[in-house]
Amino acid sequence: MNIILIGFMGAGKSSIAKKISEKTGDVLIEMDDMIVERSGRKNVAEIFDKDGELRFREMEIEVAKEISTKDNVVVATGGGVIINKIILDYLRKNGKVVFLQTRFTEILARVGGVDGRPIFQDKKKAKILFDFREVLYKEYSDLSVATDNRSLDEVCESVLSMLKNKRR
């Protein structure tokens, strides 16, 4: 079974996925990195700029399909995977989906003002997107874990113990 971490930009998906991988030995997959490698571009911002967001979203679908054939991997998704239900359908095939839930004020403190995230250029727009997506993250996840004011270790432990209980 795979562990799929979803949540808004800055929710800690990459850091928590890395921790889980260190604890469980599951192979770590960064969806954004897989996409960048395949695209031949430097980074996500360059894909958005040169190929367009639509192409990026198509590549998310391709990568999700490939991940669905894997087992025992922990996946840090991009914050926009819930836009296309087909992506979640692939990821859920062989995985449990965990929503890392973080308040917007905390997100702002973590990523506000940082370049390289094409979707986070305008804070007002980002807040609207946050509210809209929150509903979808909840809808598509098997469980939610709060990350505000908690250490990476605490969140990692919560994710693993909640997943264990789910399987019982």
Q: How far is the CB of 119 from ligand S3P (least distance, A)?
A: 4
Residue among 55 and 117 whose Cβ is closer to ligand S3P: 117
> Which amino acid, 142?
D
Residue 28's DSSP bridge partners are 74
The piece of 19-27, 113-121, 138-146, 147-155 that touches ligand S3P (CB under 6 A) is 113-121
Pick one of 44, 91, 98, 163: the residue that binds ligand S3P (CB under 6 A). 44
Residue among 2 and 130 whose Cβ is closer to ligand S3P: 130
> Which residue has 């490698």 as its token pair?
37
Rounded CA-CA distance 100/162 in Å is 13
Instruction: List, in sequence order, the alpha helices (H) in the chain.
Output: 13-24, 31-39, 44-50, 53-67, 85-93, 104-111, 123-140, 152-167
Tell me the three state secondary structure of residue 29: strand
Of 104, 59, 103, 73, nearest to 5 (Cα)? Answer: 73
Note whether 79 binds ligand S3P by CB under 6 A: yes
Pick one of 117, 134, 142, 162: the residue that binds ligand S3P (CB under 6 A). 117
Tell me the three state secondary structure of residue 77: coil
Total length of the chain = 168
> Which residue has 């399987």 as its token pair?
167
Note whether 12 binds ligand S3P by CB under 6 A: no
Q: How far is the CB of 165 from ligand S3P (least distance, A)?
A: 27
- Contacts (CB under 6 A) with ligand S3P, residues 49-78: 78
- Region of 166 please: left (phi>0), alpha (psi -120 to 50) or beta: alpha
The piece of 63-71, 95-103, 117-125, 142-150 that touches ligand S3P (CB under 6 A) is 117-125
Residue among 2 and 102 whose Cβ is closer to ligand S3P: 102
Residues within the interface to ligand S3P (CB under 6 A): 9, 13, 32, 44, 78-80, 117-119
